[in-house]
Structure 1
Amino acid sequence: MLSKNKIKFIQSLSRKKVRDQEQLFLVEGNKIVLESIDSDFGIEMICATPEFSDRFFADKNLQCELIECSEDEIKKASLLQNPQQALALVKMPTPELSLQKATDKLFLALDFIQDPGNMGTIIRIADWFGIRDIICSQNTTDCFSPKVIQASMGAIFRTSIHYLNLEESLLKANHLDIPVYGAFLEGENIYQSPLSPNGILVMGNEGNGISEQIERFIDHKIHIPSFAGKENGSESLNVAVATSICCSEFKRRTIKK
């Protein structure tokens, strides 16, 4: 049974202040809950229907509190319009960043991404293209908010996300001779620009792009050209869509022929 106090606590994790204080975040949905269990993240508590628990947890040695409850109880605790049969409270990780890895791998850096849907989708894109580290400016939206978790579709458990002073991080990258790329409307055509398999790719704010403070650390400005020709095409791309195209082109260059 799920008590009123537990329900209240679960719902309180919708607020960043509470998440930061408790170092916990909420995961909802059958598939994402199962992915959280199979990840390296610690689990504080799982709430699930008896049917779900019997089906998926019988052979698992869960090191957390397991509360069996009805679908109605889960619905009362849930932040979703259409909750499923399970939710979990997951411990926040404390990943360490080694910029030295960017000498061999591609990192993403996000400069003031505001929309949770974009953030979650970018995390999912990073996972798809095998990018394991995302550096976020401290004003980028919280990756552990419920909307971001849902949009990431479980990719949050396979990606290390670092909230740091982005200027300092990119300055260190410059000193290490790590190439830093940034998406700009006035940048060089990405399909004609030389791209390295390693480095840091910076994506900017939905409305304003990459800030002036961050721009000065970027070595290579790139741009996704429009193919609309003389027709009236869109002025710009959604940042998550642009991230996907850029990551795809970077990775395409590394494919061995």
Structure 2
Amino acid sequence: MVSKNQIKLISSLQQKKYRALNGLFIAEGVKVISELLDSHFSLEHLYTTAPLFVEIPASKRSVISETEIGKISALNTANNALAVFRIPDAVPIKQQGLIVALDDIRDPGNLGTIIRLCDWFGIAQIVCSEETVDVYNPKVVQATMGSLARVNVSYLNLNNFLANSDIPVFGTFMDGENIYKSILPSEGIIVMGNEANGISIDVEKTVSKRLSIPRFGNNQKTESLNVATATAIILSEFCRNS
């Protein structure tokens, strides 16, 4: 059984201010929860509609009804498992290898997909502007499909971070150098911009090399690519070249 106070607390974690206040976030679904349990994340409590994760101490798990899990779920259709995890302390950023920098990404699905892409391409660090959607937003956590367990996401003053970077900064622009003809290093920061406005003017000033993904075909009327799609192409080229 889940109490009214627990329902109130868990439901409140759908909002950023309450996640920050309590230092907690939620994850749903067996796959996502399994990935987080097998990482540095600390479990606060687990709720399931069947006897799952029996290796977890009984004091940290509860079997509840489908109606009850529906009351605490952030999904339109509740999953059979929901876990509350502690938000870990920030990890220092190491300026080495490839780092993805996100300038004001607002869509939770895009951020979650980019985290998953970084995991796929072996990129362990993402730095985000302070305006970027919260990584512990339930929709972001869900979209990562567990990759959040292996990718460190930090929030900071992105302009200052890039301006003081010891490694080259690459930005994606419509008028940049064709990425398929570029010599790409194994170390650098790759900046991806806002869904509607691209890279901001201040961040653009910190970019040392401008890149673009060329359009093919005869019409060439498509104005832009989805930021997650563009990130996949950019990361693939960097990893292939390096």
Q: TM-score range by the shorter chain?
A: over 0.9
Of 132, 142, 156, the residue aligned with 1:164 is 156
Aligned to 1:239: 227
Of 126, 129, 132, the residue aligned with 2:124 is 132
Contact 2:93–2:125 at 8 Å: present in 1 too?
no
CA distance in 2, matches of 1:231, 1:150: 37
Aligned to 1:222: 211
| Alpha-carbon shift at residue 207 of structure 1 (Å) | 0.8
Describe the shift of the 1:78–1:93 C-alpha distance in structure 2 as closer, same or farther (beyond 3 A): same
TM normalised by structure 1 equals: 0.90
Alignment of 1:78-89 (within 5 A): 78-89=73-84
Deviations 1:32-86 (A, max 9, x none): 112221111011111112432xxx32xx254962122122211121111221211
Instruction: Give structure 1 stretches of 5+ with no counterpart.
Output: none
Describe the shift of the 1:64–1:181 C-alpha distance in structure 2 as closer, same or farther (beyond 3 A): farther
TM normalised by structure 2 equals: 0.96
CA distance in 2, matches of 1:63, 1:252: 47
| Alpha-carbon shift at residue 95 of structure 1 (Å) | 3.1
> How many percent of aligned residue pairs carry the same amino acid?
47
Alignment of 1:10-89 (within 5 A): 10-52=10-52, 56-57=53-54, 60-62=55-57, 65-89=60-84
CA distance in 2, matches of 1:181, 1:240: 16
Q: Give the 3-state SS of the residue equivalent to 1:6 in structure 2.
A: helix
Alignment of 1:165-244 (within 5 A): 165-173=157-165, 176=166, 178-228=167-217, 230-244=218-232
Deviations 1:112-147 (A, max 9, x none): 001111111111111111110000000111111011
| Alpha-carbon shift at residue 31 of structure 1 (Å) | 1.3
CA distance in 2, matches of 1:50, 1:146: 22
Aligned to 1:107: 99
Aligned length: 242
Aligned to 1:249: 237
| Alpha-carbon shift at residue 218 of structure 1 (Å) | 0.6
Describe the shift of the 1:182–1:39 C-alpha distance in structure 2 as closer, same or farther (beyond 3 A): same
